Structures are given as structure tokens and as C-alpha cells.
């Protein structure tokens, strides 16, 4: 059965809270009035991956003198990175010790950039509290932790399992859950503001030509060059990086069954009056007899930031969705089933303080959706397309892009520059894996594509949507 390709991003979209304070410099930005007809490197997509790839290329002396053009279908950072849950949280179980270590390194890299450049994006390092709402799901997590103790004890040492009801309450979680894990090294942030800072700096430093409101409709290849087709004209380059995540198959139909779009639901909720800020970020697995639910929550500050309302940034509710999610690349729609669940759920999942008496739901200031890219084998795809030299892909994060995209963008930049210098990219990839700079399972190969197609098709694996 042929799986349909994604559509390119829609011109309009639901209104993300993260876009409520847009970067005025970037709105409608086109560094040059006309779309260049050629560039040395073209990047498609301006989220965490595309902006990171552009930054690492621009910072590398091997790229000096080369022109970099970044194309974005909408405004800058208007896709999944500008619509996610505000987490930058390493996933320490379920995907392997090398992935856990890589994601920890990725979070450190993001924090280092924010600290170095004093980026005002509400970065907050904090523990992550994951609540498991059935014994089966908790048992599965405990098995994964036990395995991690054998293969990566230093990572496992950062995870605490809590089952005592009184201890659960101390983390402000309803003790009806089966248990918790507390992990260290997580963070929350305003993701759009981080990416907007990166892009604005690159443009103002003269290192990037950013072209927003320029959707790419097709990529054709001939005579060692790739041509990107847009309504504003054509642009050709020897090197093209697709940082298109859930929209990838709109430009690479052969990836329709390997990176599948999926729509997730998010909300910003006003907390109860006179409540205090949560000390941790939260993930909730399988609540309310909804085993596919994997909800996620951070809380904004109550002071010292613009609009300091302590918004509860709550997403998920997939089990209550009224509309299809998987295979959907349209984020103009709010799913009222999931939206209602998000407005009501925290009053049952957590023990919120403040004036909660009589509250049946929290007021949403914004409700929106975003498009993730679910990978068929549950790992991102980072590398060059087989038989299309110079065409690179970096995406398919299965809802976990923030603790992956920065260093995946760096890895793809390293590969691009190695190939341009005539080096053996496969040797570089081996070195990246050896140093922990890219998990082996992330590397795009023809063999991996074939192996992935032996797996079941994507139907909605349990992950942290849009985190």
C-alpha cells in the first residue's frame, strides 16, 4: 500500500503562544529582495535544526566565503520548534544508552550557547518528573532503567524511582499514579526566542541570507546541482540540507513511509489564582485509562519576564483526539477533544495549589497544533540521500527534536564540509559515533532505509509529543 506524502506547510496556522512576542526583525524578513538564483549551500527549514546547521556552517572557517541561503515556508521558526511544549529534556530510557548520552550532550550545548550569548529565552535547568499511571507502564520503565544500570551506570544514577504515595505528593502529583521517575538535567525554555536569536545574529553578521514566506514545492537534481522550486523562482546549489522534519516527504516522496507527519495539540493555561510555580517539568504516561497518552508540561515564570503569568504549557491528550493525527500535516485545525482534555486534565493529574475549589478546567490563553515527524524506526535521519550527492536530510525526531536538533545540525554541517573538502564522509561518521557526537542509529544509509521498511508502519508510537 502506498503511503501518501506530506503536504508543504499551510500558509496559515493555529496561533502558538510562543509566537505571541514575535521577533520584529525577522517578521517577513528577506535578506535580499530577490531570491538568489544560486548559492553554495541552501537550507530548507528554520527551526532548531535548520538554524543550528546554518550556525555551525557559518562558524566554521572551512565555510568562509561560501554563500548560505535559508528558505522558510512561513515566518521564521513557525513550524514545530515554534509550536512545541518548551522542553529541552534528554530521554534517558527506551532509545539506548548512546542516545541518552547524546541528548545530555545536546542539552549542554544548547545551554552553553544561551549562556555565552545571554539569550533571553526563559531557560531554566530543572529536574524532570515522569508519572506512570498504570503498573504495566511503570514496570516497563523500571526494566529499561535496570538495563541502563548495566550499560550506562553513570546515566542510570541520575534517575530516581518513587512509589511511596507521600513522596509522590511532594512532587505535586496525584498519588493515584503507579509511580514516578525523577531525572536530572532537564530544562524548559521559550524555544522560538532561542531560534530567533540565532537567526537574527547570523543575518546581522552577514553570514546568512534568510528568505521567509518562501515555500519550496519541489527539488530536482541534474548535473551535480539541486534546484529548489518556489513561487518566487528557482534557486540552485550543489549542497542542499532539508531540515523539514514532518514535512520531509512533501519534497522527498520516497520518505513517505519513513518520516510520517503527525499532529500534536498544545495549550497555554492560566494557573489557579495564588498558586506557586512547579519545581519540575512533567511528563504523564497513560493517565485516565488512555495508554497512548503521553502528556507533557512546563510552567513559565511568575516574575522578571514579559507577561509573567506562570502559564502552564501543557500538551498531549492524543487518546482523546477526535480527528486523525498520524499522516496529517495540517496544523490549521484544533482538535477540541484533545483541547478539552488539556484544559481539564491538570486539575486531576497534579495537586495544584492556590484557589482550585470549584475549578473544573483551566482557562486557555492559546490553543494550537503542530506537526511532528515520526520516524519509522524511532530514530532521526541524519545524512546524505543515497544516489543524490549533495542532498542532505536532518529530521524525523518523533516528537523529540529539542534535545536532538542542535547537535544533529552540527553533525550534518560537519558531513557537508567534509564532502566539500573531498574527505571520506563514512570515516567522519565513524569518528562522530566514536566520540558520541552522533548515535550510530541516526545515520542515513540505503541499508537502514531497507531495514526500516521491514518494521511496522508508523501508527503513533508512544513518545513525548512536541517536547
Three-point CA angle 260, 262, 263, nearest 5°: 160
Confidence of residue 464 (pLDDT cuts 50, 70, 90): very low
Q: What is the pLDDT of residue 7?
A: 97
Question: In the Cβ-directed half-sphere of 201, how many Cα atoms lie within 13 Å?
Answer: 18
Alpha-carbon distance of 464 to 87, in angstroms, equals 10
Confidence of residue 291 (pLDDT cuts 50, 70, 90): confident
Average pLDDT, the chain: 95
Burial of 357 by CB count in 10 Å (0-12 exposed, 13-18 middle, 19+ buried)?
Answer: exposed
Q: Which three cell numbers stand for residue 2?
A: 502506498
End-to-end CA distance of the chain: 31
Q: What share of the chain is helix, strand, coil (3-state, %, to 5)?
A: 30, 25, 45
Alpha-carbon distance of 462 to 388, in angstroms, equals 33
Q: What is the pLDDT of residue 463?
A: 40
Q: What is the pLDDT of residue 170?
A: 97
User: CATH number of the domain at 124-187+261-371, out of 3.40.47.10, 3.30.9.10, 3.40.50.720, 3.40.190.10?
Assistant: 3.30.9.10
Please give the average per-residue pLDDT across 302-307, as a whole number: 95
List, in order, residues 6 or more apart from 95 with CB less than 8 Å away: 378, 379
| Ranges 107-121, 134-148, 415-429: which has the least confidence | 134-148
Confidence of residue 77 (pLDDT cuts 50, 70, 90): very high
CA torsion, ordered 209, 406, 45, 417, to nearest 10 deg:
60
Q: Which three cell numbers stand for residue 446?
A: 540505503
Range list of H helices, 270-384: 336-349
Range list of H helices, 152-279: 153-156, 165-170, 191-204, 248-251
Alpha-carbon distance of 208 to 202, in angstroms, equals 6
Residue ranges of domains in the chain? 17-82+192-260+377-452, 124-187+261-371
CA torsion, ordered 189, 191, 193, 198, to nearest 10 deg:
120
8 A C-beta contact, residue 127 and residue 184: yes
Q: What is the pLDDT of residue 236?
A: 98
Three-point CA angle 425, 427, 431, nearest 5°: 115
Range list of H helices, 274-349: 336-349
Q: Which three cell numbers stand for residue 312?
A: 502552564
Classified as helix, coil or strand, 299 is strand
Q: Which residue has the cell 516522496?
A: 253
Classified as helix, coil or strand, 282 is strand
| 8-state DSSP, 283 | E
Q: Which helix (H) or strand (E) holds 235?
A: strand 233-237
Taking residue 38's Cβ as centre, other Cβ atoms within 10 Å add up to 14
Q: Which residues pair with 266 in a beta bridge?
A: 315, 368
Taking 60 as the threshold, does the pLDDT of residue 460 lie above it?
no
Confidence of residue 289 (pLDDT cuts 50, 70, 90): confident
DSSP string, 260-276: EEEEEEEEEEPPPTT--
Q: Which three cell numbers stand for residue 354?
A: 492556590
| 8-state DSSP, 68 | E
| Ranges 95-99, 162-166, 245-249, 327-331: which has the least confidence | 95-99
8 A C-beta contact, residue 6 and residue 261: yes
Could you report the per-residue pLDDT of 174-189, keeping only the tens digit for each? 999 999 999 999 999 9
Confidence of residue 96 (pLDDT cuts 50, 70, 90): confident
Could you report the per-residue pLDDT of 346-375, keeping only the tens digit for each? 999 999 999 999 999 999 999 999 999 999
CATH number of 17-82+192-260+377-452: 3.50.50.60
Could you report the per-residue pLDDT of 382-414, keeping only the tens digit for each? 999 999 999 999 999 999 999 999 999 999 999
Q: What is the pLDDT of residue 288?
A: 84
Percent of the chain with pLDDT over 70: 98
8 A C-beta contact, residue 408 and residue 438: yes
Three-point CA angle 118, 466, 303, nearest 5°: 40
8 A C-beta contact, residue 227 and residue 216: no
Amino acid at each position: 500500500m502506498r503511503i501518501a506524502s506530506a503536504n508543504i506547510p499551510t500558509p496559515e496556522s493555529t496561533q502558538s503562544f510562543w509566537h505571541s512576542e514575535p521577533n520584529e526583525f525577522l517578521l517577513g524578513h528577506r535578506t535580499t529582495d530577490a531570491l538568489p538564483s544560486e548559492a553554495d549551500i541552501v537550507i530548507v527549514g528554520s527551526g532548531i535544526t535548520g538554524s543550528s546547521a546554518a550556525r555551525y556552517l557559518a562558524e566554521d572557517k572551512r565555510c568562509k566565503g561560501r554563500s548560505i541561503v535559508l528558505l522558510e515556508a512561513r515566518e521564521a521558526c513557525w513550524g514545530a520548534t515554534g509550536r512545541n511544549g518548551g522542553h529541552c529534556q534528554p530521554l534517558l530510557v527506551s532509545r539506548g544508552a548512546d542516545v541518552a548520552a547524546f541528548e545530555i550532550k545536546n542539552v549542554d550545548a544548547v545551554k552553553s550557547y544561551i549562556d555565552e550569548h545571554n539569550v533571553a529565552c526563559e531557560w531554566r535547568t530543572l529536574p524532570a518528573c515522569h508519572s506512570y499511571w498504570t503498573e504495566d507502564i511503570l514496570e516497563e520503565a523500571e526494566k529499561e532503567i535496570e538495563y541502563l544500570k548495566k550499560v550506562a551506570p553513570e546515566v542510570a544514577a541520575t534517575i530516581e524511582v518513587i512509589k511511596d504515595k507521600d513522596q509522590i505528593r511532594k512532587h505535586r502529583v496525584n498519588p493515584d499514579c503507579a509511580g514516578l521517575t525523577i531525572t536530572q538535567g532537564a530544562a524548559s525554555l521559550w524555544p522560538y526566542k532561542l531560534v530567533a536569536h540565532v537567526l537574527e545574529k547570523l543575518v546581522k553578521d552577514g553570514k546568512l541570507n534568510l528568505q521567509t514566506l518562501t515555500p519550496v514545492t519541489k527539488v530536482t537534481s541534474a548535473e551535480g546541482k539541486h534546484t529548489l522550486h518556489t513561487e518566487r523562482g528557482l534557486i540552485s546549489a550543489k549542497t542542499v540540507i532539508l531540515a523539514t522534519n514532518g514535512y520531509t516527504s512533501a519534497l522527498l516522496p520516497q520518505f513517505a513511509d519513513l518520516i510520517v507527519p503527525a499532529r500534536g495539540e498544545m495549550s497555554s493555561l492560566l494557573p489557579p489564582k495564588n498558586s506557586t510555580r512547579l519545581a519540575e517539568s512533567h511528563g504523564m504516561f497513560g493517565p485516565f485509562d488512555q495508554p497512548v497518552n503521553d502528556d507533557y508540561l512546563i510552567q513559565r515564570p511568575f516574575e522578571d519576564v514579559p507577561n509573567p503569568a506562570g502559564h502552564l504549557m501543557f500538551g498531549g491528550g492524543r487518546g482523546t483526539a477526535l480527528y486523525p493525527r498520524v499522516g496529517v500535516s495540517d496544523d490549521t485545525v484544533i482538535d477540541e477533544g484533545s483541547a478539552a482534555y488539556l484544559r481539564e486534565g491538570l486539575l486531576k493529574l497534579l495537586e495544584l495549589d492556590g484557589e482550585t475549589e470549584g475549578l473544573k478546567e483551566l482557562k486557555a490563553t492559546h490553543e494550537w497544533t503542530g506537526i511532528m515527524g515520526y520516524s519509522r524506526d524511532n530514530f532521526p535521519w541524519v545524512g546524505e540521500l543515497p544516489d543524490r550527492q549533495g542532498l542532505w536530510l536532518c529530521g524525523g525526531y518523533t516528537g523529540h527534536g529539542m534535545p536532538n536538533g542542535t547537535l544533529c545540525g552540527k553533525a550534518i554541517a560537519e558531513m557537508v564540509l567534509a564532502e566539500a573538502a573531498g574527505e571520506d564522509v563514512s570515516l567522519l561518521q565513524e569518528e562522530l559515533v566514536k566520540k558520541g557526537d552522533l548515535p550510530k542509529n541516526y545515520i542515513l544509509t540505503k541499508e537502514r532505509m531497507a531495514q526500516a521498511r521491514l518494521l511496522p508502519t508508523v501508527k503513533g508510537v508512544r513518545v513525548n509529543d512536541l517536547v
